[in-house]
């Protein structure tokens, strides 16, 4: 997945540099928060809570015209979350890298401030699972996830080519959790909202 993201960024930059379709491509670099929903289901019969985390993100987009674009967005560094269980405290931690491919509609394309909405599909690659506290020493595994992604935001153009973006997206993210000796202990229902600020460059 990381190779796909980096390849897509490189392709977008190369095409932009070639001069084809001037200002049809854009790249962003951001710092964003993944904030899971408040009710994260039950694991091993106990209510689970997943905390939030901040990380670097990036995107590459191609504009078909003034209003429509397709965007590949991903975490450039992994997000890490701690999982707490009622009565046990912090029981595990997990890393993940979200990636979405979406179609965006941009309003007011000639204005300084340009809102947009998006709809697409997302993939979440889960890794780095480890047990903590009462479960420390047991092996743990979380499944990858995928599903519909929704997004919205606005771009503030400080020049013809440079903009600041504030955006928010909702990801479908549920991971089946398996713990050594315990088997499948349930599904962590994360379904986070991802929000933050990015700097962008349009070619």
pLDDT in tens, 64-117: 999 999 999 999 999 999 999 999 899 999 999 999 999 999 999 999 999 999
- pLDDT > 70 in the chain, percent: 89
Q: Check whether 198 has a pLDDT greater than 80.
A: yes
Residue 18 has pLDDT above 90, yes or no: no
Query: Would the pLDDT of 182 be above 50?
Result: yes
β pairing state of 183-189 and 174-179? antiparallel
pLDDT band of residue 138 (cuts 50, 70, 90) is very high
User: Residue 7's pLDDT band (boundaries 50, 70, 90)?
Assistant: low
**Number of residues written out for the chain:** 203
pTM of this structure: 0.85
Report the alpha-carbon angle 124-137-83, nearest 5: 40
Give yes or no for a contact between 100 and 120, defined as CB atoms under 8 angstroms apart. yes
CA distance 107 to 70: 15
Question: What residues contact residue 140 under an 8 Å CB cut-off, 6+ apart?
Answer: 92, 129, 130, 131, 177, 178, 179, 180
State the distance between the two ends of the chain, measured CA to CA, in whole angstroms. Answer: 25
Q: What is the per-residue pLDDT for 179?
A: 94
Average pLDDT, the chain: 90
Handedness of CA 187, 193, 197, 198 (dihedral sign): positive
């Amino acid at each position: 997945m990381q190779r796909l993201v980096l390849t897509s960024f490189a392709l977008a930059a190369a095409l932009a540099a070639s001069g084809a379709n001037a200002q049809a491509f854009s790249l962003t670099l951001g710092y964003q928060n993944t904030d899971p929903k408040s009710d994260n289901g039950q694991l091993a019969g106990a209510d689970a809570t997943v905390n939030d985390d901040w990380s670097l993100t990036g995107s590459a987009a191609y504009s078909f015209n003034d209003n429509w674009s397709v965007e590949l967005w991903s975490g450039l560094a992994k997000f890490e979350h701690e999982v707490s269980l009622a009565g046990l405290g912090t029981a595990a931690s997990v890393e993940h890298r979200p990636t979405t491919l979406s179609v965006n509609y941009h309003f007011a394309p000639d204005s300084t401030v340009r809102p947009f909405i998006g709809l697409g599909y997302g993939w979440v690659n889960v890794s780095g699972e480890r047990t903590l506290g009462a479960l420390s020493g047991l092996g743990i595994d979380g499944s990858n996830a995928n599903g519909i992604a929704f997004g919205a935001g606005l771009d503030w153009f400080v020049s013809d080519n440079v903009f600041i973006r504030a955006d928010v997206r909702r990801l479908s993210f549920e991971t089946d959790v398996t713990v050594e000796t315990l088997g499948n202990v349930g599904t962590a229902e994360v379904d986070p909202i991802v929000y933050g600020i990015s700097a962008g460059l349009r070619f």
